Structure 1
Amino acid sequence: MKTSRLSRMQLLDNDTFAAWIFLSPALILLGVFVIWPIAYLFYLSFTAGSFTSAGTYWIGLKNYWRLLFTPDFWQVLGNTFYFTVATLIPSLIIPLGLAVLLDRSLALQGILRSAYFLPSIISLVAAGLGFRWLFQTTGPINAFLNLVGIPAISWLGDTFWAMPVLILLSIWKQLGFNMVVFLAGLQTIPRSRYEAAELDGANAWQQFWHVTLPGLRPTLIFAAITTAIFTLRSFEQVYVITGGGPLNSTNLLVYYIYQEAFAQFDFGYAAAAATVLLAVTLVLVYLQLRTWGEE
């Protein structure tokens, strides 16, 4: 009895040791490129100074107090919230509608799926340059407006219109990815549910509301959280199209962190702002994992 128990423990120890051996390369890479940078970012948020001969020094929570009492930071947070919400809602509704249509037998279904997914694989920098050309004062959009008798709009120079241009680009960029996610989710809903709904006299809208949406609940949450994370980390759009202007109206949190770190060389303050962004992202990831766990 003792011998068999000892052999099982030895086997378990051998398996555990082998598992750690196989996992160690991935764990080392994870530690070096993920855990260590996050830990150093957190440490840096409590310091001031620069990476020169003078070095950095500990200042405690002063960077976080600066965040609380800096009007520009709160304006950037407001911009980021507006940008995220205004991007998120259409980025769920439009792809969901397209996915429902493409899930049915339509002509040219494969070509349409590829066409809708194409924006997802285009570089954001290239797309940003294209949108900047489209919406410049003498660009094609204003030329079309002039043709129909509408005065030209200073899209990128107006504090009201500049942000919608960034939002439009982000929606266009996210549309294909979310559509593919919803198409995959639709495949998991049993057809028998739709047949039962038809037998009960449910029309197309009632089937969508009572069968499709409940069946897509985990997929909707996944798409919402990934889209929110995509918008929270937006940088290229601002850098290429508006540079945070006009009058700071399109400055988003990641671009603000970039400016503070690499234009003002205030790395501690930038690290504190980045820590806030990391905390928000971790909350979203936690909600996603919790939802999948419940499912």
Structure 2
Amino acid sequence: MNTESSKVYEQSTVASAKVSKKFIHLPKFKTEHWMLFPSIVLLAIISIFPFIYLIYASFMDFMLSMDQPAFNGIENWKRVFINETFWASWGRTGIFTITGLLLELIIGVGVALLIYQLPKGRNLVVTLWMIPVFVAPVVAGLLGRFLLNSTYGLYAWLLGFVGVNKEILGDVSTSLPAVILMDVWEWTPLITMIVLAGLQSLPTDALEAAEVDGANYVQKLLFVILPLISRTVLVALLIRSMDILRFVDIIKITTEGGPADSTKVIGYYLLEIAFKFQDFGTAAALGLTMLFVTIFLGKRFVNFMARGEE
């Protein structure tokens, strides 16, 4: 009896251990999901719900003065796409984006290569070079407007020596280039910082092999360094292209879209429709077009990087 009792006891102990093991892991699995639940809810509140509501508003006659929005079908979308200002704003945005990205890329990569070659004082130079990034865009716009003022601006005074005697931000031919250069001044250091991080992670054996083969600096730059940091450069361009499409701050402070709409990019046009004319239905449709363009560009960048990796 004692032997049988001990066997029964051992079997019951093993069974209870298996059951307890299952129940021990089950609460842990559930806890992990419950810990993620607040983040999922927060994500839905700040992104998914506003996105759905934006789609809803784009099909509504939604004015601030109205008591109740009314469904108007695709009128908002028609109002957006048949408007000449919409296409002209996208054209300026394209010029702004391509010119700004090219300047930021060339200057940012060039400065990163120069900083990378410094034997000493690299941290100090990087700190000083990064100062514009920490300046708020509104402050950058105020600074640019002050420096380009035809009466007391430093840049306007210097331009006077080469025969440029006019209000830079008040002229159709110079206002957009001036705003582009303000954006380049503020965000080129970000490109430099990202590229510099890529340069510091370069494999030394590849550079040493190029030196052993007798390659000069230009050859190392073209055939070793730039190919190795190309993905880093693409990431930097992706970050900036997503941000530059929403460019509004400096234009609002300096030109307010003028003169003669010469600086009215798509972001400022959206701001004008939403808060000046208070037509939130049309603004929602316009905002969705900006979102689709942003997603399209982001997808192209990602596919390009994937092809490069293959």
- Shared fold (TM-score, shorter chain, > 0.5): yes
The structure 2 residue matched to 1:142, chosen from 156, 172, 177, is 156
Structure 1 equivalent of residue 275 of structure 2: 262
> Aligned partners of 1:151 and 1:221: how far apart in 2?
37
> Aligned partners of 2:156 and 2:183: how far apart in 1?
21
Identity of aligned residues (%): 30
Give the 3 Å change call, closer, same or farther, for CA 8–104 of structure 1 in structure 2: farther
The structure 2 residue matched to 1:186, chosen from 199, 204, 226, is 199
Does structure 2 conserve the Cα–Cα contact (< 8 Å) formed by 1:44 and 1:271? yes
> Aligned partners of 1:202 and 1:182: how far apart in 2?
22
Does structure 2 conserve the Cα–Cα contact (< 8 Å) formed by 1:238 and 1:250? yes
Superposed displacement of residue 288, structure 1: 4.8
Structure 2 equivalent of residue 74 of structure 1: 87
Give the 3 Å change call, closer, same or farther, for CA 151–281 of structure 1 in structure 2: closer
> Aligned partners of 1:291 and 1:13: how far apart in 2?
43
Equivalent residue runs for 1:31-180 within 5 Å: 31-52=44-65, 54-138=67-151, 139-146=153-160, 148=161, 150-180=163-193
Superposed displacement of residue 211, structure 1: 0.8
Superposed displacement of residue 14, structure 1: 4.1
Give the 3 Å change call, closer, same or farther, for CA 6–96 of structure 1 in structure 2: farther
Structure 2 equivalent of residue 280 of structure 1: 293
TM-score by length of 2: 0.87
Equivalent residue letter for 1:240? I
> Aligned partners of 1:238 and 1:157: how far apart in 2?
12
> Aligned partners of 1:75 and 1:273: how far apart in 2?
14
- 3-state SS in 2 of match to 1:249: coil
Does structure 1 conserve the Cα–Cα contact (< 8 Å) formed by 2:64 and 2:278? no
> Aligned partners of 1:282 and 1:271: how far apart in 2?
16
**Per-residue deviation, residues 6-51 of structure 1 (Å, max 9, x unmatched):** 9898677545422221111211111111111111111111111324
Superposed displacement of residue 278, structure 1: 0.9
> Aligned partners of 2:21 and 2:91: how far apart in 1?
59
Superposed displacement of residue 274, structure 1: 0.4
Does structure 2 conserve the Cα–Cα contact (< 8 Å) formed by 1:218 and 1:291? no
- 3-state SS in 1 of match to 2:168: coil
Does structure 2 conserve the Cα–Cα contact (< 8 Å) formed by 1:225 and 1:285? yes
**Per-residue deviation, residues 30-89 of structure 1 (Å, max 9, x unmatched):** 111111111111111111132455311112222122222101111111111111111001
The structure 2 residue matched to 1:25, chosen from 38, 58, 81, is 38
Equivalent residue letter for 2:44? G
> Aligned partners of 1:166 and 1:105: how far apart in 2?
32
Does structure 2 conserve the Cα–Cα contact (< 8 Å) formed by 1:47 and 1:56? yes
RMSD over aligned CA atoms reads 2.3
Count residues in correspondence: 292
Equivalent residue letter for 1:141? Y
Does structure 2 conserve the Cα–Cα contact (< 8 Å) formed by 1:79 and 1:250? yes
> Aligned partners of 2:233 and 2:21: how far apart in 1?
45
- Range moving further from structure 2, 162-171 or 46-55: 46-55
Equivalent residue runs for 1:184-263 within 5 Å: 184-263=197-276
Structure 1 equivalent of residue 9 of structure 2: none
Does structure 2 conserve the Cα–Cα contact (< 8 Å) formed by 1:91 and 1:227? no
5+ residue gaps, structure 2, are 1-14
> Aligned partners of 1:252 and 1:9: how far apart in 2?
60
Does structure 2 conserve the Cα–Cα contact (< 8 Å) formed by 1:120 and 1:173? yes
Does structure 1 conserve the Cα–Cα contact (< 8 Å) formed by 2:270 and 2:283? yes
Equivalent residue letter for 2:158? F
Does structure 2 conserve the Cα–Cα contact (< 8 Å) formed by 1:163 and 1:249? yes
Does structure 2 conserve the Cα–Cα contact (< 8 Å) formed by 1:239 and 1:255? yes
TM-score by length of 1: 0.91
Give the 3 Å change call, closer, same or farther, for CA 6–58 of structure 1 in structure 2: farther
- Range moving further from structure 2, 217-226 or 134-143: 134-143
